[in-house]
Amino acid sequence: GLLTLDEGRALDGERPVVADGDETPVHELIRQRAHRQPDHTALVLSHADRDAEHLSYAELDRRSDALAVHLLEQGVQAEDVIGVFMERSLELVVSLLAVMKCAAAYVPLDPQYPQERLRYMMADSDMRLLLTQERLRDSAQLDPGTVMVAVDRLDLDIDVPTPQRAVHAEQLAYLIYTSGSTGKPKSVAVAHGPLSMHVQAIAELYEMDPDNRELHFMSFAFDGAHERWITALISGSTLVIRDNTLWTAEQTLAVLHRQRISVACFPPAYLLQLAEHAELQGGDPPPVRIYCFGGDAVPDATFERVKHRLKPQYLVNGYGPTETVVTPLLWKIAADGHCQAMYAPIGQRVGSRSLHVLDMDLNPLPVGMVGELYIGGRGVARGYHRHPWQSAERFVADPF
């Protein structure tokens, strides 16, 4: 991607795209939404041809409270790591929220991952217990010593006292594993403060509000998935979750229409498939206001085709390594704008972050020189969980 250099040598003096938000833990922000709009639909589980079930904000808050209390009764302590090994479902989001409410940290485990990778992640994270579903018990039993809780066997539709566990900004919120393309996957430790800052900044950039309906399409093992479910719920939006099957382009377009989706995020290659199928299908495009993409470079030809066929109000390109809390840079352009480059730019900083292009000795470089992008400020992970030597190599002191 291309970095937008407004200030020349260093980007630290660049005006932030959005104002820095507070660092209230995201589960508290979601609870505030539940109190303000208890009957508004929070979650919908959608199949390709029909909708399965839904939860209001009040029901989401009540069920996640009940599960959090159950976890506390099991002896879960602050910063204990809780594995979440579930198929895509409403109870998956309930579980992630419940883990945060009891001051523990979740690590998402995709049941479709190879067993060897899952076994490594379970051991490496040193998880306290594993949340799963009854139908997955056998496949989840990769370590005989792991304590498992089948969330779908619990009665969570009950009123319980609100879990009273204080959470501070530097406390661990979740672990997310890198792809492992350069070796074994590394567990990136994301704290509550940087996470809250990031999703509030993203919510402002996406202009999220209770009228938005977002399709959640990507795997929960991917860091971008957690930006999206949290951002939608702190904004009071409705989150429509794809079921456990990977839909065809035709099925996805049908859901975008049926569910009146206003925000949708896809890998660039899949977004291009949607545009191509929409061309063949004809008719009106889906009512999507924002399409976002990320993870791969997006050629200008793809950008133009999506813009002209799907006709959103905006297109957004998110960029950033997992270690910098999902997307520390973002490029947002109106649909009548032009890319003016071979690939979509990676944009400007999001929230309370600093950006510098430096040489090998960490000196700022002038415009036109090739260097490395260093990302700092509040939007950086704590490091790699239980791997201090790797953290010391990749997370360096800010010389500025």
Tens of pLDDT, residues 333-384: 998 877 777 778 889 999 999 999 999 999 999 988 999 999 999 999 999 9
Please tell me the predicted confidence (pLDDT) of residue 55.
98
CA distance 333 to 345: 10
Tokens representing 26 are: 């995201």
Sign of CA pseudo-dihedral 180, 181, 183, 189:
negative
Sorted by sequence, the CB contacts under 8 Å of residue 54 that are 6+ apart come out as 41, 42, 43, 44, 45, 90
For residue 298, the model assigns a pLDDT of 73
Residues paired with 66 in a beta bridge: none
Using alpha carbons only, give the angle 205, 298, 7 rounded to the nearest 5 degrees.
Answer: 55
What average pLDDT does the segment 291-312 reach?
Answer: 83
**Who contacts 204 (Cβ-Cβ below 8 Å, separation ≥6)?**
18, 19, 21
Mean pLDDT over residues 66-79, rounded?
Answer: 96
For 107-143, what is each residue's pLDDT tens digit?
999 999 999 999 999 999 999 999 999 999 999 888 8
Does the structure show a pLDDT above 90 at 296?
no
Encode pLDDT of 305-342 as tens digits. 888 899 999 999 999 999 999 999 999 999 887 777 77
pLDDT of residue 371: 96
Residue 87 main-chain phi, psi, to 5 deg: -75, 160
The per-residue pLDDT for 87 is: 97
CA distance 278 to 281: 5
**Domains in the chain, start-ordered, CATH in brackets?**
26-386 (3.40.50.12780)
Higher pLDDT, 342 or 263: 263
